[in-house]
C-alpha cells in the first residue's frame, strides 16, 4: 500500500508539472546588472554609483520582455521600468501618507469616506514624461521629485457591506480617482495550516 501511495503521488506531481509546462506565465526574475541592456546600464550609471540596494529584474509576460531596476536614492525606494527596447516606461517611488500633498490627501480621504473602513498597504508616486529625454525625466524624478505627469498608486483594503476587499487605486495629482481594480493577494495556505 505504501508503494502504491508513493507511486500515485509521484505520478500526480509529474502530471501536474506536465500540464503547467504547456502554459507560459508572467515571471519576474532577478538578473545580474550585466544581463540588462547596455543603454539602461549607461543611463542609470550616474545614479547607481550613489544609490543603495540596487537590484535588477527581467520580467517576461508571454512573449513580452521588460526590465526593472530597484534601488534606494535619498532614503526613498525607487522602481524604474524599461521596455525591451530599453525605453524608460515608468518611475515609481514608494512614499508615506505624510509625503502626499494636502490636496491629494483630501481627495483620497473623500474617496475613502464612501467605505466603512480602509487600510493602506502601499503608496507609490508615479512619474512619467513623454516629451523630454529619459535622462531629464530621471533627473526630475530622482532629484526634484517631479515629472510631467504625476500619479499616485495605492494598494488598499476597503471594507464595504462588512467585507474587506483588496484594490489597486490610481489617483491623479489632485487626488481624483482615475482607476480602481480589485486585486488578488498572496495565498495564505502555507502560513495558515
| Residue 163 makes contact with other proteins by CB under 8 A | yes
Task: Give CA–CA dist 170/192, Å, rounded.
Answer: 31
Q: How many CB atoms lie within 10 A of CB 57?
A: 18
Within positions 39 to 58, which residues make up the interface with other proteins, using CB under 8 A?
57
Task: Give CA–CA dist 146/148, Å, rounded.
Answer: 7
| Torsion sign, CA atoms 110, 149, 184, 70 | negative
| Residue 2 makes contact with other proteins by CB under 8 A | yes
CA distances from 64 to 20, 23, 24, 32, 67 (A): 19, 15, 11, 19, 10
* From 52, 64, 72, 119, residue interacting with other proteins (rule: CB under 8 A): 119
| Residue 1 makes contact with other proteins by CB under 8 A | yes
* From 19, 49, 75, 96, residue interacting with other proteins (rule: CB under 8 A): 19
Q: How far is the CB of 193 from other proteins (least distance, A)?
A: 6
Q: How many CB atoms lie within 10 A of CB 77?
A: 15
Q: How far is the CB of 101 from other proteins (least distance, A)?
A: 25
What is the binding site for other proteins (CB under 8 A)? 1-2, 5-6, 9, 12-13, 16-17, 19-20, 23, 25-30, 57, 119, 121, 157, 163-166, 185-193
Amino acid at each position: 500500500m505504501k508503494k502504491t501511495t508513493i507511486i500515485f503521488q509521484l505520478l500526480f506531481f509529474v502530471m501536474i508539472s506536465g500540464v503547467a509546462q504547456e502554459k507560459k506565465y508572467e515571471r519576474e526574475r532577478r538578473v545580474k546588472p550585466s544581463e540588462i541592456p547596455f543603454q539602461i546600464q549607461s543611463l542609470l550609471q550616474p545614479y547607481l554609483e550613489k544609490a543603495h540596494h540596487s537590484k535588477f529584474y527581467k520580467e517576461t509576460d508571454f512573449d513580452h520582455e521588460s526590465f526593472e531596476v530597484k534601488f534606494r536614492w535619498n532614503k526613498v525606494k525607487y522602481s524604474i521600468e524599461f521596455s525591451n527596447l530599453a525605453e524608460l516606461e515608468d518611475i515609481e517611488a514608494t512614499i508615506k501618507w505624510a509625503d502626499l500633498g494636502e490636496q491629494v490627501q483630501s481627495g483620497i480621504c473623500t474617496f475613502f469616506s464612501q467605505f466603512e473602513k480602509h487600510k493602506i498597504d502601499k503608496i507609490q508616486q508615479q512619474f512619467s514624461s513623454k516629451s523630454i529625454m529619459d535622462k531629464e525625466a530621471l533627473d526630475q524624478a530622482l532629484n526634484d521629485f517631479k515629472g510631467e505627469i504625476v500619479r499616485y498608486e495605492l494598494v488598499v483594503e476597503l471594507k464595504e457591506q462588512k467585507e474587506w476587499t483588496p484594490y489597486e487605486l490610481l489617483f491623479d495629482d489632485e487626488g481624483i480617482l482615475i482607476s480602481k481594480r480589485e486585486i488578488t493577494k498572496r495565498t495564505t495556505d502555507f502560513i495558515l495550516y
